[in-house]
Structure 1
Amino acid sequence: MMGLALLPFLLLLSLASTIQGQSIFDVTTYGAKPNTDITQALANAWTEACASTTPSTLLIPKGVYQLSQSNLKGPCKSVPIQVQVEGTLQAPIHTKGDGLVLFSYIDQLILSGSGVFDGQGKSGWEKNNCHKKKICTKLPMNLKFSFVTNSTVKDITSLDSKNFHINLLGCKNVTFQHVTIIAPDESPNTDGIHISSSEEIYILDSKIATGDDCVSVGDSNKQVTITNVTCGPGHGISIGSLGKYTKEKDVVGVTVKACKIFNTTNGVRIKTWPDSAVAFMASDMHFEDIEMENVSNPIIIDQEYCPWNQCNRKVPSKIKISNVSFKNIRGTSATPVAVKLVCSKSIPCEGVEVADINLTYSGNRGPIVSECANVMPTITGVQNPQICAKPATIGALANAWKDACTSTNPSKLLIPTGVYQLNQSILHGPCNSTIEVQMEGTLQAHPDPIGAGLVLFQYIDQLTVSGTGAFDGQGKGCKKNDTHLNKICNELPMNVRFSSITNSIVKDITSLDSNYFHINLLSCKNVTLQNVTIIASENSPNTDGIHVSRSEEINILNTQISTGADCVSVGGTNKQIVITNVTCGPGDGISIGSLGKYTKEKEVSGVAVKSCKLINTWNGVRIKTWPDSASAYTASDLHFEDIEMVNVSNPIIINQEYCSSNQCNNKIPSKIKILNVSFKNIRGTSATSVAVKFICSKDLPCEGVEVADIDLAYNGIEGQITSQCVNVIPIITGKQNPRACVEATPINPPSTTD
């Protein structure tokens, strides 16, 4: 009798063997046999492996096994749990179900082995029409991972899936390595690996040949890395399509590096739908060290992606693309248009960098070219083809510029007295000699503005812009500028933009009623603006007079600015900015910042504001940084001296809790380190009782702040003039009205007598 009682226990022991503390659950011990359906045997083996309290391995040995949909669900007690596939799991010919094997809610899963997941897709591809229709019957995938974390998939093969080969949904910290994916190039909608609503996903050292995107990164993803992937045939490596469905969210941080793409219909691509169902951002996307071999459309941003006419192309995409780079991309293009950057008309791409592109086209459909719309990329290194070389507008100004720029003698482009209507005009260098644009007339923007700016100067050395003329943005008629209110917004055209301009001077001109910034300097060096006049009403939003970004050795001298935002704003990544004898008002004063809003910002150093007069402004001289900063760096050597204030609110400010229109988390301290700052000889009248306000970061208090000879009077009735200080102990010398940071210990100058 005792022997009979032991039989169930011995039978249970026989189902799983143990090797070095790890339990092995072989599906064949649960009744699985080659060339039969093992759905139930696999389910039973998974149930016991998942429930094991020791690390376990579910083994599918060599052989061909039929399998209906298998749901392998956690959470599991076994950590880690390994599924080792050495055989072939073969899907049924029918097209029912979500997938061949579905993993869900598992932590520390390892899927490995030399086995194959065979979707037998040939039986279903003719029914796969989801790439053509919004409403369709979705076919089964080979593998689906839902809410799987801290896991690895390695060495397996996915063959002939009916739909996506591998799909990730809601996953975190999952690595795919040495994965092989195979399907013919005519198999529809068979994306190799599709990622959605996931983060920290790594696709490494894999080979993908399929009929759609080798890798597609959908919406709501963060920190996806694709490295050393060989792709082809297929549709290349894509971010998108984005914007098709209403609940999509931001895509941030996608890196594609050291990949080889061959015989594909696209190369590296970002694609968004026009008439988007939702508005969000796609940012920090980088493609680097990519080899192309006979690839159609090697480099693409396509914000008019609309396959099979499933959308309204006339309505621009609402997806904001920013901070994108294409670097060191080389090889052969199968199409003459090798670089195509077509961005949204309503929300142009920003921060696009194109560097060291060397592509050749051996076909007979013309020379290799690029195509660009609603984007102004930063271009460096080798450029084959020339990137965005074609001017955006054709007309008298463009033609005159072309002749003047190609002249081998010093040349002058004259705009005589008169009023001239102008759409966006791109005046692009480099030029063969020094060149002057003499403005005596008025260039008047279209009442319904489009594009990045009225006049865009790019890549020019020794440029002079002068004259008594005006750039008139006609901004009074525009009520669309909400850039100061929303992260995702329609940025309107500036009046004048200088990009990558060196050793140049802008003098005597007037900027009137811009829709957005009046004058913007981006990546400039050794540029002087002198005797410039800027005029807009005090209620014109976001109309900074002069905005400086990523530049050095910029001098703003003897200039008068009246506008609705900062008279001068110095953004991130600037060095050696001098602002002297500027009269500012009305407006928001002279500001360094805001700093820390964007991820790629870098240090600001060496800003001097001297001998300026501020009248009836909302702020005086100001340093402002965002809490919950997107980047961490220093802002140093910032000096304000000999400033006259007339009825100025908040005359002296450091504000490290600047959070315009509640676009950030105020509870997280700023990561911008402010140091070596001085406010000296600042005098006049304050329109607010708090005349000196230093609010520094709790995590990174300000250091080296000097306050000397402050003499401000309050002309209101709300109490006495005061100061407010947090997380700073300034060095205080000379006259102090109001007393700065009364809780700090003043440092008096040394006595001059013995």
Structure 2
Amino acid sequence: MMGLALLPFLLLLSLASTIQGQSIFDVTTYGAKPNTDITQALANAWTEACASTTPSTLLIPKGVYQLSQSNLKGPCKSVPIQVQVEGTLQAPIHTKGDGLVLFSYIDQLILSGSGVFDGQGKSGWEKNNCHKKKICTKLPMNLKFSFVTNSTVKDITSLDSKNFHINLLGCKNVTFQHVTIIAPDESPNTDGIHISSSEEIYILDSKIATGDDCVSVGDSNKQVTITNVTCGPGHGISIGSLGKYTKEKDVVGVTVKACKIFNTTNGVRIKTWPDSAVAFMASDMHFEDIEMENVSNPIIIDQEYCPWNQCNRKVPSKIKISNVSFKNIRGTSATPVAVKLVCSKSIPCEGVEVADINLTYSGNRGPIVSECANVMPTITGVQNPQICAKPALANAWKDACTSTNPSKLLIPTGVYQLNQSILHGPCNSTIEVQMEGTLQAHPDPIGAGLVLFQYIDQLTVSGTGAFDGQGKGCKKNDTHLNKICNELPMNVRFSSITNSIVKDITSLDSNYFHINLLSCKNVTLQNVTIIASENSPNTDGIHVSRSEEINILNTQISTGADCVSVGGTNKQIVITNVTCGPGDGISIGSLGKYTKEKEVSGVAVKSCKLINTWNGVRIKTWPDSASAYTASDLHFEDIEMVNVSNPIIINQEYCSSNQCNNKIPSKIKILNVSFKNIRGTSATSVAVKFICSKDLPCEGVEVADIDLAYNGIEGQITSQCVNVIPIITGKQNPRACVEATPINPPSTTD
């Protein structure tokens, strides 16, 4: 009978033992067993531990335990309360819920032990697309701390989370020490520790390897300290992104010190969204004693952060960045741009200090450099690279452009390396750039172009020099194949240039278009030479867009795409005495690919010679056009063809690399077109090809004095015509449209 009386006492003793005044709540005494789901057992153990009137420890002993989701909620009756994890808590394969373990409303929590929170993220990473889409389903985290205060997390490991590993929301005075975070570098959106709306947060002596930011400090945070953290792989240590959501508030007092970052896609970074949803301050942010090893983009302020084009880059960020320092940062950069400080145009950064930067770049994409915009940092100590140093060309341009007298900027004979130079007006007087030397891009260049001229009136670019894009080393130009792609830099771009002349210069081996004119008026290009391999993709010689009164005269072009291409929204373009070849000929179009295109009118191509080109003179429009407009007054006259494939073309079914729906007719109306006195040899048996839109047949097409001979063996020289009835005069070789398809062909039955 005495043994039976002791049973209740022994049962209570097994559920909660007391060591030196501290109650121990072991989940195994609540029914938890290895390799089973312990969600209920953990909940029961937490309920009693949290309700205990003496300091308590919830123990998860060694072993692997399955867990659906556990919400460990306070406040608790006694402090501190400790959760000691020695085993592995393993999340389910499915992607439901907010997290594996959620701690909320707890004061003086201690989470410790050698155990592991295993998110089994491999099953969910392919579904983790919130970094790409505004509207998405967020996957569960491993650990979430909400409104936890005066607490410590130490010695634990987070493994393969499906989303963030550890998230803090509304916390105060919480320390993370000796924490280990592990996930592969291809795991998306798996920030190691993400902090939001918190203050007095300390992350110390921790190791983080993941697929996103090792530590990300979001909005509404104060006094965050990150010390002795080893980060890599991952995206580095970031403040931001900031400004995406409307209820965000100031970020103040972030210190990152004595950290090592290796093999990451970024180093230490501040990032804010353009077109911010809210305006606030980000201040007192300091990065010091950081070692970089093979880190891309080691030092960054990026106020144009816009992943996956989820914003409007043209609207400047409203986040004011001030009182920032980068000190004693050393090591190796995996990219030539090692320091990038790009601040908001409307609210420039203030109080930025850069001191003792010693970074080296061992790649072959040029020298190590910095890039700066809308910031004037205070610079002291070692500078490698030189921080925000304006290159000689930029300085010379500034002085020449601000001169009140007509001025000349001279680039003398010699070879000069150049990253990218933006020569911006308006200028105070007429200005000439005399090119006698060679401006040479790096073999793997970045940016929009080698030299960009913008908003200048009465500009002259002249001389015997060359713009050398070094495009032979680039294999990434797939803009002709893919709708979504990264455009490579051009050699020379003229934007909003008026009453100007470009003469005698050479463009060599561009990575993309050689010369681009955008929104220009009354510009003449004369005696220009353009040279690239016929195998160089998308290297149009001169591309004209949204411009008028453009004259291209006495020029020689050899390239891998159109010698001259006239895009949408152009008026009065004259192309005279141009020698083209190899290349894709002289083209109007392609037209209709983009929604904002407008009419093209008044293009004259005259007295040109085409040699060994894939096409001759051509008008090309997209089927299933994104916009509808007219292309009119287009004239080709006195053209000599030498071994040219497809010498004369109208193609309203142009669909490069199957990027469109061929079954929907083009909406571009072509009218008042002439092909006159075109002679020479064709490399294809079809020498004249008019394929017009079924919905909007071509009108007013005149063909006169065509004399082409076919030098191949594939039959007789012929023409092909669809949805057009041209006016034909003079010599016809081949006979044009002798078997033209009627504009409205009669229906047929079997």
- Give the TM-score of the pair, scaled to structure 2: 0.54
Deviation string for 1:73-118 (max 9, x for gaps)? 0000120000000000000000000000000000000000000000
Question: CA shift at 1:563, angstroms?
Answer: 59
Conserved? CA contact 1:116–1:156, under 8 Å: yes
Conserved? CA contact 1:581–1:613, under 8 Å: yes
Conserved? CA contact 1:346–1:490, under 8 Å: no
Q: 1:477 to 1:179 in 2, by over 3 A?
A: closer
Q: 1:307 to 1:638 in 2, by over 3 A?
A: closer
Deviation string for 1:208-249 (max 9, x for gaps)? 000000000000000000000000000000000000000000
2:179 alignment partner in structure 1: 179
Q: 1:496 to 1:293 in 2, by over 3 A?
A: closer
1:549 alignment partner in structure 2: 545
Q: 1:232 to 1:656 in 2, by over 3 A?
A: same
Higher deviation after alignment, 80-89 or 556-565: 556-565
Q: 1:135 to 1:524 in 2, by over 3 A?
A: closer
Q: 1:600 to 1:350 in 2, by over 3 A?
A: farther
Q: Distance in 2 between matches of 1:270 and 1:5?
A: 67
Q: Does 1:485 align with 2:481?
A: yes
Question: CA shift at 1:12, angstroms?
Answer: 2.3
Q: Does 1:698 align with 2:698?
A: no
Deviation string for 1:518-537 (max 9, x for gaps)? 99999999999999999999
Q: 1:422 to 1:386 in 2, by over 3 A?
A: closer
Q: Distance in 2 between matches of 1:294 and 1:338?
A: 11
Q: Distance in 2 between matches of 1:324 and 1:57?
A: 42
Q: Distance in 2 between matches of 1:40 and 1:176?
A: 27
Conserved? CA contact 2:722–2:741, under 8 Å: no
Conserved? CA contact 2:365–2:443, under 8 Å: no
Conserved? CA contact 2:646–2:682, under 8 Å: yes
Conserved? CA contact 1:733–1:747, under 8 Å: no
Q: Distance in 2 between matches of 1:429 and 1:346?
A: 19
Q: Distance in 2 between matches of 1:121 and 1:669?
A: 47
Q: 1:312 to 1:503 in 2, by over 3 A?
A: closer
Conserved? CA contact 1:347–1:491, under 8 Å: no
The 3-state SS of whatever aligns with 1:50 is helix
Q: 1:620 to 1:377 in 2, by over 3 A?
A: farther
Q: 1:439 to 1:312 in 2, by over 3 A?
A: closer
Q: Distance in 2 between matches of 1:666 and 1:351?
A: 57
Higher deviation after alignment, 233-242 or 630-639: 630-639
Higher deviation after alignment, 382-391 or 232-241: 382-391
Q: 1:562 to 1:68 in 2, by over 3 A?
A: closer
Counting aligned pairs with the same residue, the percent is: 100
- Give the TM-score of the pair, scaled to structure 1: 0.54
Q: 1:374 to 1:46 in 2, by over 3 A?
A: same
Q: 1:404 to 1:143 in 2, by over 3 A?
A: same
Q: 1:36 to 1:652 in 2, by over 3 A?
A: closer
Question: CA shift at 1:598, angstroms?
Answer: 49
Q: 1:237 to 1:400 in 2, by over 3 A?
A: closer
Higher deviation after alignment, 641-650 or 568-577: 641-650
Deviation string for 1:112-152 (max 9, x for gaps)? 00000000000000000000001100000000000000000
Higher deviation after alignment, 734-743 or 624-633: 734-743
Q: Distance in 2 between matches of 1:18 and 1:680?
A: 103
Q: Distance in 2 between matches of 1:634 and 1:174?
A: 66
Q: 1:693 to 1:259 in 2, by over 3 A?
A: farther
Computing the radius of gyration from Cα coordinates, the structure with the larger value is 2
Q: Distance in 1 between matches of 2:421 and 2:2?
A: 96
Question: CA shift at 1:578, angstroms?
Answer: 65
Conserved? CA contact 1:213–1:237, under 8 Å: yes
Higher deviation after alignment, 297-306 or 549-558: 549-558
Question: CA shift at 1:13, angstroms?
Answer: 2.8
The 3-state SS of whatever aligns with 1:749 is coil
Q: 1:197 to 1:575 in 2, by over 3 A?
A: farther
Question: CA shift at 1:10, angstroms?
Answer: 4.0
Conserved? CA contact 2:721–2:741, under 8 Å: no
Q: 1:591 to 1:180 in 2, by over 3 A?
A: farther
Higher deviation after alignment, 533-542 or 211-220: 533-542
Conserved? CA contact 2:723–2:742, under 8 Å: no
After superposition, residues 118-267 of structure 1 pair within 5 angstroms as 118-267=118-267
Conserved? CA contact 2:322–2:352, under 8 Å: yes
The 3-state SS of whatever aligns with 1:12 is helix
Higher deviation after alignment, 726-735 or 228-237: 726-735
Q: Distance in 2 between matches of 1:702 and 1:378?
A: 64
Question: CA shift at 1:40, angstroms?
Answer: 0.4
Higher deviation after alignment, 439-448 or 41-50: 439-448
Q: 1:561 to 1:84 in 2, by over 3 A?
A: farther
RMSD: 17.3
The 3-state SS of whatever aligns with 2:10 is helix
Question: CA shift at 1:414, angstroms?
Answer: 18
Q: Distance in 2 between matches of 1:83 and 1:343?
A: 44
Q: Distance in 2 between matches of 1:674 and 1:385?
A: 54
Question: CA shift at 1:21, angstroms?
Answer: 1.0
Conserved? CA contact 2:721–2:740, under 8 Å: no
Higher deviation after alignment, 692-701 or 335-344: 692-701
1:526 to 522, 525, 529: 522
The 3-state SS of whatever aligns with 1:40 is helix
Question: CA shift at 1:747, angstroms?
Answer: 109
Higher deviation after alignment, 621-630 or 48-57: 621-630
Q: 1:75 to 1:526 in 2, by over 3 A?
A: farther
Deviation string for 1:278-304 (max 9, x for gaps)? 000000000000000000000000000
Deviation string for 1:401-451 (max 9, x for gaps)? 999999999999999999999999999999999999999999999999999
Higher deviation after alignment, 13-22 or 59-68: 13-22
Q: Distance in 1 between matches of 2:104 and 2:724?
A: 51
Conserved? CA contact 1:267–1:292, under 8 Å: yes
Higher deviation after alignment, 586-595 or 60-69: 586-595
Higher deviation after alignment, 186-195 or 515-524: 515-524
Q: Distance in 1 between matches of 2:678 and 2:79?
A: 66
Q: Size of the alignment, in residue pairs?
A: 750
Deviation string for 1:565-617 (max 9, x for gaps)? 99999999999999999999999999999999999999999999999999999
1:739 to 702, 726, 735: 735
Q: Distance in 1 between matches of 2:215 and 2:580?
A: 53
Q: 1:562 to 1:27 in 2, by over 3 A?
A: same
Q: Distance in 2 between matches of 1:664 and 1:286?
A: 50
Q: 1:351 to 1:739 in 2, by over 3 A?
A: farther
Conserved? CA contact 2:25–2:58, under 8 Å: yes
Conserved? CA contact 1:730–1:744, under 8 Å: no
Q: 1:362 to 1:520 in 2, by over 3 A?
A: closer
Structure 1 unaligned spans of 5+: none
Conserved? CA contact 1:374–1:451, under 8 Å: no
The 3-state SS of whatever aligns with 2:454 is strand
Deviation string for 1:642-686 (max 9, x for gaps)? 999999999999999999999999999999999999999999999
Conserved? CA contact 2:446–2:489, under 8 Å: yes
The 3-state SS of whatever aligns with 1:602 is coil
Conserved? CA contact 1:68–1:91, under 8 Å: yes
Conserved? CA contact 1:279–1:488, under 8 Å: no
Question: CA shift at 1:390, angstroms?
Answer: 1.8
Question: CA shift at 1:8, angstroms?
Answer: 4.0
Conserved? CA contact 2:290–2:329, under 8 Å: yes
Higher deviation after alignment, 648-657 or 434-443: 648-657
Q: Distance in 2 between matches of 1:389 and 1:452?
A: 20
Structure 2 unaligned spans of 5+: none
Conserved? CA contact 1:345–1:451, under 8 Å: no
Q: 1:95 to 1:623 in 2, by over 3 A?
A: closer
After superposition, residues 680-695 of structure 1 pair within 5 angstroms as none
Question: CA shift at 1:14, angstroms?
Answer: 2.0
Conserved? CA contact 1:281–1:320, under 8 Å: yes
Q: 1:122 to 1:256 in 2, by over 3 A?
A: same
Deviation string for 1:7-58 (max 9, x for gaps)? 4454223201111111111000000000000000000010111111111110
Higher deviation after alignment, 331-340 or 680-689: 680-689
Q: 1:413 to 1:334 in 2, by over 3 A?
A: closer
Q: 1:285 to 1:575 in 2, by over 3 A?
A: farther
Q: Distance in 2 between matches of 1:110 and 1:694?
A: 79
The 3-state SS of whatever aligns with 1:321 is strand
Conserved? CA contact 2:366–2:442, under 8 Å: no
Q: 1:211 to 1:492 in 2, by over 3 A?
A: closer
